[in-house]
Amino acid sequence: MSTIRYSTSPQLKATLPANAQENNSIGLNILLRIVLEIGFLKMLPSLVEIGRRRKSLMLSQKQLASLSGVTQSMIAKIERGKINPSYLKTKSIFDTLEGLERRNELKAKDLSHPKIVRIQARDTVAKGVRVMRETGFSQLPVFEGEKPVGSLTEKVILQKLVSAQNPDEISKQHVETIMDEVFPTVTEDTPLSMISTLLNYQSAVLLAKKGHIVGIITKADLLKVIGSAAGSKLGK
C-alpha cells in the first residue's frame, strides 16, 4: 500500500498556510451567511399574523397581493396554512403591512393639546403647586421664556418636601432649583407607538413645529385614545 508524501519544499510550505486560511475564511463566510439568514427569518412575525393584520387594515387579499408583489393565490394559501413562502416573499408582505399600519397610525399632531399649561423657571414652587391644583395637572413643563428647560411634577415636589427640614423653605424656592429634566420633544408626524414608549419613562411629551413648542401630550391623553378604541370595538 503506497503512502502519499507531501513535499517539504520551502515554496509549498509557504503556500499551504495561505490556502488553508483562505479555505477556512470561505467556510466561515458561508456559515455566517447561514446564521444571519436564520436569524432574520426568526425576526419575522408568524404567518398567522398576515390574515389578522390584513383584515384590520380592511384590505382584500387581492389588494395586499398587488401591493406586496405576490399573487392573490399565495396570500390565500398562506392564510389557510397551505404553504410556507420564501423569506423574501414573506418579508415583502410584512413590510407592506407595516408600512400601511404606520400610515394609518395616529400621529402626535392628532393627540396633542395646543394650550400648554406651563411655568417659568424663576417662578416659586408654591406657584407651581397652585397651578397644578387649579388645572388638575400633575406635571408642568418648565420654560425660560419660550424655551423648555425642565419639568415640575408632583413626585419631585413630594420628594423634596419629605427630605426637607423646613417644608416652607421649599415652597419659596425657585422652580429651577428642584425641577427635573425637560420633557422629550417630538414632531407632528411622530407615531403613537413611539409616543407610547416615551410616556413609559416620562410624564409628558412636548410637540415641536419649526423650532417652537406648540403642544403637549400626557399619559392621560394616551389613556383616552386606548379607551376610545376599546369603546369602538365594543360598539361593533
Fold: same for 44-104 and 109-234: no
pLDDT number for residue 101:
81
What is the average pLDDT across 20-41? 56
pLDDT-derived band at 48, boundaries 50, 70, 90: very high
Give the containing element (helix H, strand E) for 208.
strand 204-209
- Rg of the chain taking only CA atoms, in angstroms: 30
Residue keyed to cell 407595516: 98
Whole-angstrom Cα distance, residue 150 to residue 181?
Answer: 5
Question: What percentage of the chain carries pLDDT values higher than 70?
Answer: 77
pLDDT of residue 230: 40
Nearest Cα neighbor of 143 from 166, 170, 116 is 116
Characterize the bridge pairing of strands 204-209 and 185-186.
Answer: parallel
**How much of the chain, in percent, has pLDDT values that exceed 90?**
52
For residue 111, what is its C-alpha cell?
A: 393627540
Q: Indicate the domain borders of the chain.
A: 44-104, 109-234
68-74, Cβ contacts within 8 angstroms, sequence gap of 24 or more: 68/92, 68/93, 68/95, 68/96
CATH architecture assigned to 109-234: Roll (3.10)
What does the pLDDT look like over 163-222, one tens digit per residue? 877 878 889 999 999 999 999 999 998 988 889 899 989 999 999 999 899 999 998 888
233: pLDDT confidence band, cut at 50, 70 and 90?
Answer: very low
Say whether pLDDT at 142 is over 60: yes
pLDDT of the residue at 231: 44
Grid cell in block for residue 60: 382584500
pLDDT for the residue numbered 157:
93
Residue 234 confidence class, pLDDT cut points 50, 70, 90 = very low
Strands 204-209 and 212-218, bridge-based pairing: antiparallel
Domain 44-104 has CATH 1.10.10.10: no
Report field, pTM of the whole predicted structure over 0.75: no
